[in-house]
Homo-oligomer: A and B are copies of this chain.
Amino acid sequence: MNNNCTGQGNPAGILPEKIILASASPRRRELLWQIGLAFQVMPGEGEERAKSSHPSEMAAELSRAKAEEVFQKLSGKERQGCLVIGADTVVSCKGRIMGKPAGRQQAEEMLTLLQGGTHQVYTGVTLVYQREGKEPEQTVFCEKTDVTMYPMSREEIRAYVDTGEPMDKAGAYGIQGKCAAFIKEISGDYNNVVGLPVGRLYQEIKKISQGLWGQGQQQGDGEP
C-alpha cells in the first residue's frame, strides 16, 4: 500500500520527515515530485459525497474526508512527525459544479459550457498532522483559479474528446494536455487547475514544520 516515491526523506526540522499523499491522482504525484518533496502515496478508498453546495466548501470538505480517512489508518507511532495531504478539485461554471464526466456525451456538454468564457477551478487541500504528545491537528485551505477559454467549434470539442484526455478530469479537460491550445488566460495558480496548488501547499507545510519541530526558524527559511 505504501509507495515510497523518492529514495530519501525530507530534511528534518525543515519539512516533515514523512509526507503521505492521500490521492491516487498521477498529476498530484507529479506536482509533488516537481517541487522536490519526498512522500509516500496512500489513496483512500471512500467514495466521498459533499454536504456543501458551494464549490470552495465542497472541495475543502472532500479534501478533509480524504486526508482524515488515510490518517485514521495510521498507527499511533506512524502518526508522529507525519503529515497527510488530502486534495479535491471541482470546476464551477455559470452556477454548475462539474466533477469528472460520466461519459463521452457529458464531456461534450461540459466543454460546450466552458468554451468561449471564464470558469472557476477550486482545489481544497487538507493537511492532517500530530505533534508529539498532542492531539491531531488540521490545516484546511482552498485555492481558486479563473480560467478563460477560447471558443471551440463542435468539431474541435469532438476531436478533443476523441483524445480520451477529458474522461478522468474535473470539467472534462486537462490544462496541461492538448487543451492548452484552447486556454486564453488564467488568473491564480496554474497548478491548482492541474490538481494541487503546490505554491500555497509548500508555504503551509513550512509553517506547520516550524511549529512541529519548534526550531524557531525565520519565516521563509527552508529548502525549495
Residues of A within 8 A of B (CB): 31, 34-36, 145, 150-153, 155-156, 159-160, 163, 175-191, 198-200, 202-203, 218-224
Which residues in B have their C-beta under 8 angstroms from that of A36?
Answer: 163, 178, 181
Which residues in B have their C-beta under 8 angstroms from that of A184?
Answer: 189, 199-200
Q: Tell me if A180 and B221 are in contact (CB < 8 A).
A: no
Give the contacting residue for A159; candidates B186, B199, B223; CB below 8 A: B223
Number of this chain's copies in the assembly equals 2
Give the contacting residue for A190; candidates B160, B178, B186, B198; CB below 8 A: B186
Q: Tell me if B156 and A181 are in contact (CB < 8 A).
A: no
Q: In the complex, A148 Cα to B207 Cα: how many Å?
A: 20
Output the least CB separation between A94 and chain B (Å): 20
Q: Which of A35, A151, A185 has the most CB of B within 10 A?
A: A185
Q: Tell me if A181 and B153 are in contact (CB < 8 A).
A: no
Q: In the complex, A153 Cα to B203 Cα: how many Å?
A: 12
Q: Tell me if A224 and B181 are in contact (CB < 8 A).
A: yes
Q: Which residue of B lies closest to A37 (CB)?
A: B181
Q: Which residue of B lies closest to A188 (CB)?
A: B185
Give the contacting residue for A153; candidates B31, B145, B222; CB below 8 A: B222
Given known contacts A36-B163, A155-B221, what 12 new A-B pairs fall within 8 Å (CB)? A31-B180, A34-B180, A35-B180, A152-B220, A153-B219, A153-B222, A155-B222, A155-B223, A182-B202, A185-B187, A186-B187, A190-B190
